Structures are given as C-alpha cells and as structure tokens.
Amino acid sequence: MPPVQQPDQSAPAQVSATGAPFVAADGDRDPRAQSGDVLTSPQGVRIPDTDHSLKAGRRGPILLEDFHLREKISHFDHERIPERAVHARGAGAHGVFTSYGTAGDLTRAGVLAEKDLETPVFVRFSTVLGSRGAADSVRDTRGFAVKFYTQEGNWDLVGNNMPVFFIQEAIKFPDLIHAAKPSPDREIPSAQSAHDSFWDFVSLHTEATHHTLWNMSDRGIPRSYRMMEGFGVHSFRLVNAAGETVLVQFKWTPKLGVHSLTWEEAQIAAGVDPDFHRRDLADAIEAGAFPEWELGVQVFEDNEEQTFQGIDLLDSTKIVPEELVPVQPIGRLVLNANPTNYFAETEQVAFNTAHVVPGIEFSNDPLLQGRNFSYQDTQLTRLGGPNWTQLPINRPQVSVNDNHRDGFMQQGIPTGRTGYHPNSIDGGSPAPAEQGGYTNVPRPVSGEVVRGVDASFDDHFSQPAMFYASLSDVEKTHTIEAYTFELGKVYEQSIKERVLGVLVNIDADLAAQVAEGLGLPVPEGATAEHLAPSPALAQVTGESFPADGRQVGVVAGPDADIAGIATLRAALEAAGAQVKVIAPRGGLIGTGASTEVVERTNVTARSIEFDAIVVAGGAPKDGDIKAVVLLQEAFRQLKPFAAWGDGVDVLTAAGIDTGSPGVLTGADASDVAADLLTTMGLHRVWERADLVTASAVPPAA
Ligand code: HDE
C-alpha cells in the first residue's frame, strides 16, 4: 500500500496577494478546500470506492447506511445558488492596480493617492440581462466591477461599460429590469432587449433614451472585455487629508482601444461560441497578453449646485464631455491571473457600492444612494446569509475584527468572551480606531421632505442628441440598423410608433431611416438642441492600437509554405498577436522538423474567432465550401486579409477582389507581415464598409 497523505488541518487558511486561494509550499491548497491526493468524505475519511453504492447483495436494494452515497448525492443536490438578479453571466480575473499618485491632492485614500502603491484587485465583467448560461455576445450593457483589496479595507467600484444609466432614481430599478428581462409568460427572449416590454418601458419613460442609444450603438456589442471602457457612472465625493472635497466621475480607458463586434459577428458568436468573451479574456491572460486600463477622473468643484455648466452631476443619465472637463489619469490596472475556480471566485465575489475606504464618499445621486442599499441586501439571499464577506474572494486582505457574530456559515472562530462594545472583559478589544478610521466629511443637509427631483432631470434628449452627433458615419449606420432590428422584433405597432416619436428628438435623420426600414411614417419633430459633438465619444477615429491578444487565422493546406508560416508567426507573435493554423483536416502539416500544428479545421473554424485572415502560399485549392464561407464572412466583417504566393488565388476563387482595401498580397510571408500588423491596429478595414455593409435599411426616398 502506498503511504497515505494526510490533509494538513493545522495550517491557517490564507489568501495570496492576488486574492487567489493560498497554495502551501507542499503544493496543498487552502486546507479547508480540496487538499491531499486521496479521495475522502467531507469528514476526511478515506474512500476506496466511489463508483458503487452499498447494497444488500449485488442485485439487492441500496442500504440507508451508505453514508458516502448520501453525502455525495446530497451535496450535489445543493450545488446551485441563486444567480444574480441582473449581471448573472460574467467572467473574472485577478490583477493589480498601481496608483500614479496624481490623485494625492484629491483624496486621502492610499489606493489612489500613494504613488506606485500596488493594490490587488479582482474584476468581474458581465452582461446584464442574460441568465448564467446565456450567450456573451448579445446586445446589452456590460458590467465592469472592480474589488480593490486596499490596505484600508475593500473598495468596490461597480461600474458599466457605458457612462449613463436608464433611470435617474433607484426606486425604478425593479420596473426597468422587469421590462427588460424575458417576458413573464413564455420567458422569451433570453438575454435580449429586442422585445415589446423593453421598448414599451423605454419609450414611455424617456429618461432611458440616452442609455438605450448607447446600447443600440456599437458599445452594445463589444469585441472583447479587454476593449471596453468602464465608468463609475455616478459622481463620487473625494476627500483629501485637509478635509477638502471634490466631486469626481471615474473612467477606465483600455490600452487596446474601444472596439466592437459587427452585428453579424455578434449573432454568429451567440450560436457558434456562446462563451466568446469569457474565452477571449481567459485566453489572453493565459497567453501573457495581460489586459490593461488606465483609471482617470473628471474633477468637479463640490459646490452647492452640484452642476457643471448646467449639466446636473447628480443625474446619472448625463455625462460631461471630456473636451470640457478632461479625464485626469490617476492609475493603471493590469489583469494578470485567471481565477482558479469559477464558482469560488467569479460566482461568489460580491460587490457593493457601499464598500468604500476613507477618502471616498458618495454624492447625493439618488441612483447611487439606492444602490448602496441594494447590493448588501441582494447578497443575503444569493450567498445565503450575512457571512458572505468571509468567503475567500470577498475577504479583505487586512485584519478584520467587526464584532459580528454567528449567522449561517460562520467561517471564523471568534476568541474571547465578548462580542460587544464597550467591554471590559476582553480588555476593551476591539477598540474604535483612533487613527485612519472612516469618518464622513461634515456637510450640511437641509430641505423639505418631498418625492421628486429637480427640474434639470427633465431634460431627456439633449444628451442623446449630442452622443449621436458625435458618432462616426459608420457607427451611425450601425445604430440605425440596430434600432431597425430591435423594433422589427416588436409586435405592437403603437410601441414602434412611440419609439420613432422619441428618436426624432435624438436625430431627425435617424428617426427617418428607422421609420423607413420599418415601413412606418416618418415622425414629425426635430433634433433636440445639444452641446457641440464630443469627438471622445466616437470609436472609429483612425487611431491605431496594439495587437495584443489579436487572433490571426492562417488558412493552409498539406503543401503549405511552412517556412513562410513560421516567418509570419514570428513577426505577429513578437507584436503580441496569436496565430492559429486552419487546414482541411486536423493533425500536423509539413514534414520532418518543419511542421505546423493545425489548431482549427474547416469544420471548427468560423470567421468570428479571427481579427485577420491570412492565406499561406501552397494553400489548398479544393474549394471546400466551409473555407469559402470563412473567407467571405471575414471579408464582409471588414477584417484585414493577407495572402502570399498562390494563396492569392484562393482568395480570388472565393470571390474576394484582391485589389480591395485591406487585402495585402505578396510573393512571400515577409512581404505582408508588417503591413498586416499596421492594418490590424485599426481594428477593421473601414474603407471597405460601403462595399460590403448589407444595410438593413434601404436609403430614404
Ligand atoms: Fe447594479 N445591481 N443596480 N448597477 N450592478 C447588481 O448586485 C442595482 C446599476 C452593476 O459582477 C446586483 O450583486 C440597483 C448601475 C454591476 O457581481 C443588485 C440599481 C450600475 C453589477 C443591483 C443598479 C450597475 C450589478 C445584482 C439602480 C453601473 C454586477 C447582483 C439603482 C454603474 C456586479 C449583485 C458583479 C449588480 C442593483 C444600477 C452595475 C441587484 C438597485 C447604475 C456591474 O444589487
């Protein structure tokens, strides 16, 4: 018999600097989780057979005394916990936030103020509407929630990839979500806003116009979690060491730029790879292409009005254009580790807008104030009681002595005889903090008890009009197509007409084109007056970005130019991109020492996976229809193409004009590699858009 390894019950449970479960020197994990190499019962009793139950005779009934059967099945029966009411589907990662120190005069929070201070973080990205098993690529807002394990306790910045929200008051959240989630009778559609009740609500409730427009723009279908901005949405109050305050709005800017899928890609991905975004995030981190964002703040005077040039800073349906108040960089976030266990980390992580540290306070934004109640409350049901803060992923990485006691799933073993303050029995421990405690900056509060908001909250159209005017032409076309698609799925004619009546306030041409596409009369009205367009709101700007984690598919055949593929691979991988060979069959291509592994076949490859397509010299000319579909789809999706040698003929045979913009050809691989990287930096070949965008909307008469 081999020696039996005993679980180490003596070692204290710990969390590593990244928040990942502690791994002991002998390779054991947190001893309270799975440890040791021998199968045991939950009580640590070694189990020699887990495949057969205990019976009265080999053909007889199962005995109740089979505790292993009962424990195994019973634990399985209770594996599921309620999914989040919203943001149920998500993907997470560990990382580090490094402060630039530039916010030192704004806040006393060390996480933002101390130059070069590194703070471990856990980030969870999510969709809002879909359930846990829904597709990643649906049109929706994305969550961008960050838990900072600071030296002063946990701070949660629970934001979205859009800077505005559908509603101004938290009390309307149940209405919004009931309207947007699937219908109560058939539970259709899953994870989508293209249905009657969503459009019914947002057209009756016009403060939702701005956020709805962001969803219909390309922001609603991000290319990758790595390529999204993040916004705190509300104004927060920062307090410095001298007790001076400012209002700020937080923004995460991705190093890789802001990029989106096309609607066709989003639809294909929902079927071909529902895990599109979570796979992209995990693969990039595993490949060492660590996603990166810069955190910035727009800073406003904390005066009595709490407005900036008439824009109400307490109204979460409004933004202040960056051209008027620039975003000041204050730190850098790098995601550098995938979770070890999805459930323990990504599912059990629990964010709360009310988790703040000294130097960070709230504004009176009624949406934020209501959220501060909701997040704690929702965890009680989702995680089964008040001790969810003790779960490894939620535990602060500083000492905790909160005097809380008992409750479901208490993980700690409190010492001493008191759980109250003041006490003399335990020597007064824990004592109130004399230094570094969370204190609120004194601020006057007055007013009559009312249910209502200021008149400035009634302006629902000037900001969406500004947003639409700021988009590039190609983004405007996509937005028109999105409205036309979504409203095309609505059954009630009156709802469609009401939405058109709203759209005319955003932009008369937008309303006219959508009406045309729906075959409805163009509504009367005019674009609302608005501020000057904000160039920072457009995505397609001609700016170029790094290729980190971008996927390049190389179509090759058994006789492919293997040396050429190696040259291309070396050039692209040096720039951070990843290369996958696609061939008719799996296995290896090439001979001897000179081979390439086929990572995708014509059966498993689909256009959505790749940011660019290359056809290698010596490529197959068998005209496999699946390869032709791949090439044509990728061309239509405006992806960069390259081909060398007789690979060029494969493109021609697939009906692709090799003289089109963004199709690079050459005699060998080294002729195309550098230009391909440059073209990929622009995300898509936008010059091709007019040639290939199959507009859902016929041109207005
Ligand atoms: Fe949330 N929201 N929310 N929300 N929210 C939740 O909390 C809520 C709002 C956001 O990855 C819930 O733990 C109310 C704005 C993200 O775990 C719940 C209101 C913004 C996540 C909740 C809002 C968000 C949530 C569900 C109206 C962007 C996922 C599960 C006042 C700034 C966090 C949970 C994660 C999750 C309530 C509005 C972002 C029910 C009442 C505005 C990213 O508590």
Which ligand 1 atom is the nearest neighbour of the CA of 172? 27
Residue with tokens 């989040």: 84
Q: Are 352 and 146 in contact (CB under 8 A)?
A: no
Ligand 1 near 355 CB (within 6 A): no
pLDDT of residue 694: 52
Q: At residue 40, does pLDDT exceed 70?
A: yes
Structure tokens at 94: 């560990």
Which ligand 1 atom is the nearest neighbour of the CA of 234? 32
Ligand 1 near 367 CB (within 6 A): yes
| Cα distance between residue 179 and residue 194, in whole Å | 11
> Confidence band (pLDDT; 50, 70, 90) for 692?
low
Tell me the β-bridge partners of 197.
none
CATH 3.40.50.880 domain position(s) in the chain = 551-681
Q: Are 548 and 284 in contact (CB under 8 A)?
A: yes
Ligand 1 near 233 CB (within 6 A): yes
Tell me the β-bridge partners of 476.
none
Tens of pLDDT, residues 258-301 = 999 999 999 999 999 999 999 999 999 999 999 999 999 999 99
Separation of CA 174 and ligand 1 centre (Å) = 12
Residue nearest to atom 39 of ligand 1 (CA): 159
| CATH hierarchy code of domain 38-79 | 4.10.91.20
Q: Is the peptide bond before 189 cis (omega within 30 degrees of 0)?
A: yes
Task: State phi, psi for 123 to the nearest 5 degrees.
Answer: -115, 135
Separation of CA 546 and ligand 1 centre (Å) = 32
Ligand 1 near 644 CB (within 6 A): no
Q: At residue 697, does pLDDT exceed 90?
A: no
Ligand 1 near 173 CB (within 6 A): yes
> Confidence band (pLDDT; 50, 70, 90) for 619?
confident
**Mean pLDDT across 45-71:** 97
Ligand 1 near 137 CB (within 6 A): no
189 burial (CB, 10 Å; 0-12 / 13-18 / 19+) is: middle
CATH 2.40.180.10 domain position(s) in the chain = 90-390
Residue nearest to atom 38 of ligand 1 (CA): 371
> Confidence band (pLDDT; 50, 70, 90) for 34?
confident
pLDDT of residue 593: 83
Pocket perturbation via mutation, ligand 1, pick of 84, 225, 343, 383 by most ligand atoms within 8 A of CB: 84
Tens of pLDDT, residues 218-231 = 999 999 999 999 99
**Angle 22-25-26 from CA coordinates, rounded to 5°:** 110
Separation of CA 173 and ligand 1 centre (Å) = 10
Count of residues in the chain = 701
CATH 4.10.91.20 domain position(s) in the chain = 38-79
Which ligand 1 atom is the nearest neighbour of the CA of 126? 11
Cα atoms in the 13 Å half-sphere on the side-chain side of 177: 14
pLDDT of residue 9: 39
Which overall architecture, per CATH, does domain 461-537 show?
Up-down Bundle (1.20)
pLDDT of residue 30: 56
Ligand 1 near 321 CB (within 6 A): no
> Confidence band (pLDDT; 50, 70, 90) for 33?
low
Would you please indicate which residues are annotated as catalytic (active-site) residues? 87, 160
Strand extents, DSSP E, 319-463: 328-337, 360-362
| Cα distance between residue 540 and residue 551, in whole Å | 20
Class of domain 90-390: mainly beta
Q: At residue 99, does pLDDT exceed 50?
A: yes
Residue 300 vs residues 343, 386, 440, 606, 666: alpha-carbon distances, Å: 40, 37, 19, 48, 54
Separation of CA 284 and ligand 1 centre (Å) = 26
Ligand 1 near 252 CB (within 6 A): no
CATH fold for the domain made of 551-681: Rossmann fold (3.40.50)
CATH 1.20.1370.20 domain position(s) in the chain = 461-537
Separation of CA 85 and ligand 1 centre (Å) = 9
Cα atoms in the 13 Å half-sphere on the side-chain side of 515: 22
Q: At what angle do helices 209-216 and 473-488 cross, to 10 degrees?
A: 100
pLDDT of residue 148: 98
Structure tokens at 112: 């933002």
Residue nearest to atom 16 of ligand 1 (CA): 143
564 burial (CB, 10 Å; 0-12 / 13-18 / 19+) is: buried
Strand 360-362 versus strand 236-239 pairing type: antiparallel
pLDDT of residue 36: 86
Q: At residue 31, does pLDDT exceed 80?
A: no
Q: Are 264 and 225 in contact (CB under 8 A)?
A: no
| Percent helix, percent strand, percent coil in the chain, to nearest 5 | 30, 20, 50
pTM of the model: 0.94
Separation of CA 322 and ligand 1 centre (Å) = 25
Pocket perturbation via mutation, ligand 1, pick of 364, 371, 383 by most ligand atoms within 8 A of CB: 371
Which ligand 1 atom is the nearest neighbour of the CA of 367? 31
> Confidence band (pLDDT; 50, 70, 90) for 544?
very high
Percent of the chain topping pLDDT 90: 90
Pocket perturbation via mutation, ligand 1, pick of 87, 165, 234, 388 by most ligand atoms within 8 A of CB: 87
Residue nearest to atom 31 of ligand 1 (CA): 170
Q: Are 199 and 116 in contact (CB under 8 A)?
A: no
AA letter at 690: D
| Cα distance between residue 43 and residue 71, in whole Å | 10
Structure tokens at 564: 């050429």
Residue nearest to atom 7 of ligand 1 (CA): 375
Torsion of CA 539, 542, 546, 550, to 10 degrees: 70
Ligand 1 near 498 CB (within 6 A): no
Residue 144 vs residues 18, 92, 141, 161, 330: alpha-carbon distances, Å: 18, 10, 10, 6, 18
Residue 463 vs residues 251, 529, 532: alpha-carbon distances, Å: 18, 9, 10
DSSP 416-454: SS--SSS-STTTTPSPPPSSS---PPP--------S---
Strand extents, DSSP E, 529-592: 551-555, 578-583, 587-591
pLDDT of residue 17: 41
Q: At residue 24, does pLDDT exceed 60?
A: no
pLDDT of residue 2: 46
Radius of gyration of the chain (CA): 28
Structure tokens at 572: 């692209």
Tens of pLDDT, residues 428-441 = 999 999 999 999 99
Separation of CA 48 and ligand 1 centre (Å) = 46
Ligand 1 near 376 CB (within 6 A): no
pLDDT of residue 387: 97
Pocket perturbation via mutation, ligand 1, pick of 156, 375, 383 by most ligand atoms within 8 A of CB: 375
**8-17, 150-159, 184-193, 243-252: least confident range:** 8-17
Separation of CA 358 and ligand 1 centre (Å) = 22
Q: At residue 604, does pLDDT exceed 80?
A: yes
Ligand 1 near 239 CB (within 6 A): no
pLDDT of residue 7: 37
pLDDT of residue 674: 95
Kindly state the DSSP code that residue 359 receives in the 8-state scheme.
Answer: T
Strand 292-301 versus strand 230-231 pairing type: unpaired
Separation of CA 143 and ligand 1 centre (Å) = 8
pLDDT of residue 35: 81
Long-range CB pairs of 508-512 (<8 Å, 24+ gap) are: 509/700, 510/468, 510/476, 510/479, 510/480, 510/483, 512/700
Ligand 1 near 157 CB (within 6 A): no
Q: At residue 518, does pLDDT exceed 90?
A: yes
Ligand 1 near 122 CB (within 6 A): no
Residue nearest to atom 24 of ligand 1 (CA): 159
| Cα distance between residue 333 and residue 158, in whole Å | 15
Structure tokens at 7: 């679980």
Ligand 1 near 375 CB (within 6 A): yes
Q: H or E stretch including 515?
A: helix 508-518
> Confidence band (pLDDT; 50, 70, 90) for 658?
very high
Ligand 1 near 528 CB (within 6 A): no
Tell me the β-bridge partners of 337.
94
Which ligand 1 atom is the nearest neighbour of the CA of 375? 44
Structure tokens at 217: 């723009």
| Cα distance between residue 335 and residue 487, in whole Å | 38
Structure tokens at 181: 């989630």
Q: Are 122 and 345 in contact (CB under 8 A)?
A: yes
pLDDT of residue 32: 54
Ligand 1 near 143 CB (within 6 A): yes
Mean pLDDT of the chain: 93
